[in-house]
Structure 1
Amino acid sequence: MALEERAHSLSDIPIIPPPSTRSSQRSRSSSPVRPSDAQYRGGHLRRAKIFVGDEIPASISCYANTSIFHNLTSSGNDHLYQISERLWRKSKELEKKPSGEAEWTEALYAAINDLKPVGFEAVRNRDWRTDLKPPVHNPRPTIPRKRSQLHQPLQENAATDSLYPSPDSSRVIEPAIPVFRLKDPRPDICVGLSDDSLADSLEHAKGRDIAQSLLLDMQDTSTLISDPHVTPLGLRFPFLIVEAKAGATGGNLYQAQNQAAVGGSTALLILKGLSDLRDSQDLNRENQDCVETSDESGQATPDIKLNLAFSITTEGPVHELWLHFRKPNEDFQMVCIGIWRTTSKDGSLNFLRHLSAILRWGN
């Protein structure tokens, strides 16, 4: 009797049929697909007019060689050699273990802190504001949505009049329009000017109290966004960012370059805001003669100075140095100007010579 009652109770349980192949395919296809690193560069970055790997214009190359990297060998002092020795030893130590991004980032962060002049700020792993990124051109639908909706009832009526309508003939299937978005910048390291250093520069013209509140007022009123962070940190006009990866944990230089491309382009837009403000207030009258002869003399014009930023991409001990600039047609360019391996003594020293030159230029 017990077995009969148990069998009867089991027969009352409804049997749920397995999902159809079509419905399961629909649920899988409706989920967003994350683009590969190559698709992100060829699609998302390209639609934002961000390009990796190109030639440096002659005027920018001349300025970089004569005003930034012109004094590399003579800048090697005892302090620089000591920092290079520490970075080399730390790199050798990390290479022997499956070290991750955090360990490699910390080693470079220590070197930057030892090299940076007074008046600079260096912060780690902080989100930047999403509204500062370059705009992305997204495709528009080929058929206006209202027109396609007007045609939908006609197609549905035609399907119901058919003797044997197909299950999907009553629907108008519009192709999905892809939406391209840039990832928000979050550099592993960001270097820029401090509030105090800028206040000191403006003190003679504005007074101390006004100088300290000037950038805050312009930031809050969106007149000039100089601190890119979601939570302001007192770091203004970032000109150097670092994106670090580690092969031991699955990272690579290609990924770091994609991230640096967005961060470097965003830094250029911040500097462009400063350039536009300067132009609107007509503060560069005395530099007009230099602008006309900049290509011939190789001297720095305000336009070139405010159209440059740098980034460092790393994969373990491999360190790449990139120059970011914007062409007159508003394309953002990112060009590699050097690559070193910090597990080599010479590689560590030459890399830090270039890094030190960039920090002096930013000062």
Structure 2
Amino acid sequence: MIPFLDLKAQYASIKDEVDAAALRVLASTQYVLGEEVVGLEEEFAAYCGAKHAIAVNTGTSALHLALLAAGIGPDDEVITVPFTFVATVSAICYTGARPVFVDVEPVTLTMDPARLEAAITPRTKAIMPVHLYGQMAGMDEIKAIADRHSLPVIEDACQAHGAEYKGRRAGSIGVSGCFSFYPGKNLGACGEGGIVVTSSDEHARMIRMLRDWGQEERYHHALKGFNYRMDGIQGAILRVKLRHLEDWTEARRAHAAHYTSLLAGVKSVKTPIEAADRRHVYHIYAIRSRDRDGLQHALRAEGIQTGLHYPIPVHLQKAHADLGYSVGDFPVSEAAAAEVLSLPIYPEMTSRQVEQVAAAVEQDAYVS
């Protein structure tokens, strides 16, 4: 069996480092925030090329607080895409604002800048592109439109640790960038975690307060805040993993290139494309097939696990029916949702495993 993801293999490769980091926190008794979390914040900010990083308990919380720091609230609109994980939209809803969707580009499946300006209204207060599957959106075009309308750009980089756009790291182009450390992410905690990066002193100060009950000093609550703090053990473990992230990223990129080469002759599937000005970190390696469900079933029968990211775009989710969208409103997102199939990809995969998966896709794509 070839798993979709193998966290046990990752842990085994860095077990001594991870165990020592966790034990260090236990001995210190700094279980919430503390020195290890501060260390992670400093190191991750430097990694992204940002001035500040504020660690929180989940990627969703990171998105929520970044929006609040940008002044988003009830009756506002925030433009994003429907082809994303639901947390992108949920975070907007948490502020009381309304999500407004624009469709994605057919190649990168990230926000289509050509459709963006038409969605801006007097109520629009922010734009939130999603760096999907590990590839950044077209930030120059998005930022130019945002600047014309004096709108902040908040990057949903929850799948894009280390991704680059024209040499700039994810999270460093907008007013803030938000990352998830869910265990399966390219940089994953041993539990939940998230972080906001920003070069704005004002935003950093507000987000630090909001994550810790709105207090700037103990028991002095200047804002109505939240309990969104990161655990000390997660901070320590993430510091260990951050030291390995670039090696892991290059392994992912090598596996992706191998897949793309092996599947080049399979006419019934489309492989992902890395835009010329971007560094794709392949959190997900998603192919497209018109018989996606049949192909997934055939691969499962051969012991190959796959994933669906994402089979129902957010505008068609029952939970968000109140937004008033319907089938046909975002055809590129809807077509992608019906066709994408995520193949196994993780740093510890062997070339032989990549070849086995590719061979099975080639065989099953024609018979499914």
If the length of structure 1 is used for normalisation, what is the TM-score? 0.26
Q: Larger Cα Rg: Structure 1 or Structure 2?
A: 1
Q: Normalised by the size of structure 2, how large is the TM-score?
A: 0.26
